[in-house]
Amino acid sequence: MITAVTAALAAFVLAVPGRSLAWAWVPVPGAVLWIGASGLGCLRAHIPGMPVMDLQGANHCLIFIVSFSIPLSGLLVWLLRRACPLRPTLTAVLVGLASASASASLLEICHNFDATASDLLMHALAIAIVVGVNAMMSGRLLSRH
């Protein structure tokens, strides 16, 4: 959730002309903490009685994160469109990171599986897809042209 909030904050700040490019680095500590905590979850011993995610379940995670990120990204782009950011692609990347990390946080509410490497790989793939699509599409939507 820290990554979602800081990425959204950075996107809104960078949408204002004259703001420092250093704001793009604000979500990085939260993302590093998130990735590190998720990776450590894979390294610990399996908890008895807790089901382990198979590849089909990991695919559901991918679908969940991407499908929840679409409306969140759309809302943030709509809110930022009037600001006409000077760096539309960077702003769109931050919007994608904010929406994907918020969706991943929502997934954790109903994610009753022990973390596995394939599960984390699907989460990372989903986040990469959302950020990439936002960079391609929203960058055009946020540009002044």
The secondary structure of 35-96 as a DSSP string is: HHHHHHHHHSPPPTTPPBP-HHHHHHHHHHHHHHHHHHHHHHHHHHHTT--SSHHHHHHHHH
Rg (CA), the chain: 16
% of the chain exceeding 90 in pLDDT:
45
Integer CA distances (angstroms), 43 to 22, 49, 74, 107, 114, in order: 33, 17, 36, 21, 11
Q: What is the pTM for the complete model shown?
A: 0.85
**pLDDT average, residue stretch 80-105:** 90
In this structure, are residues 136 and 59 in contact, taking their beta carbons and an 8 Å threshold? no
**pLDDT average, residue stretch 18-36:** 92
More confident residue, 136 or 121: 136
More confident residue, 77 or 140: 77
The pLDDT assigned to 51 comes to: 56
% of the chain exceeding 70 in pLDDT:
82
Most confident of 59-68, 123-132, 136-145: 123-132
Residues 103-132: pLDDT tens digits?
A: 988 888 876 665 667 778 888 899 999 999
**pLDDT average, residue stretch 6-25:** 93
**pLDDT average, residue stretch 36-41:** 77
Q: Is the confidence at residue 50, as pLDDT, over 60?
A: no
